Amino acid sequence: MSERPVIRLKPKAEARAIRHGFPWVFANELVTDRRTRALPAGCFARLEDSESRPLGLVTVNPASKIIARMMDRNPEVEITRDWLAERLERAQQLRACLHDAPYYRLVHAEADGLPGVIIDRFGDAAVIQPNAAWAEAQFPMLAEALQQVTGVQTIVKNGSGRSRALEGLVEETALYCGTLDGALPVPMNGATYMADLLGGQKTGLFFDQRDNHAFAARLAQGARVLDVFSHVGGFALAALAQGAQHALAVDSSVPALDLATSGAQASGVEARFQTRQGDAFAVMEALATEGAQFDLVVCDPPAFAPNKPALDKGLRAYERVARLAAPLVAPGGYLGLCSCSHAADLTSFRNASARGIGRAGRRGQLIHTGFASPDHPQLPQLAESGYLKAVFFRLD
């Protein structure tokens, strides 16, 4: 084994946070001399504090603000296929306890000990998002380990999204191995969803909302349901599977709504399902003008506040969503509002939602707060891993 490079924290950097489980080192915390800046993106190095005491094995990317990510507390470990397989096996054991069928998030990045790596499993297929330079460099070995542990035959490499750009990685989505013949059916909450692993948003389906779908469906028996920012019919199909009278799915994406319709057909609920394509804000305004009323309205928009500079604008957008959605809820009905913005904490998002409801002239009881499903575990030391929030109100 060649001698491993060593990188060192600055004297005023907080080594205690690393020792207590924080997984990242930012560029301004590290001694970045010419040797460190010359390290290849995705390489592995020994991290030491300012007094040369070892902290662990990290992966380094000099081009990223997150210049180092913790891989292992043992600074001497080798990142091999067996090392990766051990992490994957541990992740799979958790998911096997949670779900009867292999449709779930298998790896949730740092929270599963694989920094920057997202893996969603769809039966015999899986989608890997290598959002860190080390995972890009080691992708073939990661895919081999995944096949070894899970037996999946088809793997899609999804190299898209903001995280890769921050790592200096190019966008690239492709079928890495196996075959795909169109969208795949995914059973969840009594419904069947259609996931486009190559052309859909993210990995093709949002497993993180599974438990929130289930809660909303409990409110939907016999109800008229409006699912705004519906994607492939997330809340609408779950509600219909639990006996909703009718559901309208709204999204700006025609392909997503086509998949939602296919899911409704596969679920046997197409007679009670409709779609409406358009800008969600404009559609909600139009529905209000038409006098439309629903017993359950759920809005699951994209991340309006993906980072701290966007927070104020994002909170105003969440407030606007609530203000436009609230008038569409029939008296005594329910309003569910979601945020996947890690920069907007629960209190800020809940307050913005409540302001929007109030500005619409409605009053509401907060009856439930939801988060990502447990196949998206949180790393307590990393707030970013707890990004998803859902608040449900009963309106007067």
Catalytic residues: 340
| CB atoms near residue 236 (< 10 Å) | 36
Task: Note every long-range contact of 348-353, with CB atoms under 8 Å and residues 24 or more positions apart, other chains counting.
Answer: 348/311, 348/315, 349/315, 349/318, 349/389, 349/391, 350/389, 350/391, 352/315, 352/316, 352/318, 352/319, 352/322, 353/318, 353/319, 353/321, 353/322, 353/391, 353/393
Nearest to 299 by CA among 327, 335, 337, 346: 337
Rounded to whole angstroms, the Cα distance separating 40 from 62 reads 8
**Residues 174, 158: Cα–Cα separation, whole Å:** 7
| CA torsion, ordered 227, 231, 234, 236, to nearest 10 deg | 30
Q: Which of 134, 36, 19 is nearest to 75 (CA)?
A: 19
H-state helical runs in 38-79: none
Q: What is the DSSP string of 163-205?
A: HHHHTTPPPEEEEEES---SPEEEEETTEEEEE-TTTSSTTSS
CA separation, residue 357 to residues 23, 328, 360 (Å): 38, 11, 5
231: left (phi over 0), alpha (psi -120 to 50) or beta: left
Q: Measured between alpha carbons, how far is 333 from 256 in angstroms, rounded to an integer?
A: 27
Helix (H, G, I), strand (E, B) or coil at 121: strand
In sequence order, the β-bridge partners of residue 154 are 125
Q: Which helix (H) or strand (E) holds 44?
A: strand 43-48
Nearest to 203 by CA among 112, 125, 99, 270: 125
The Cβ of residue 39 has, within 10 Å, a number of other Cβ atoms equal to 18
- CA neighbor of 107 nearest in space, from 129, 75, 125, 124: 129
Which residue type sits at 246? H
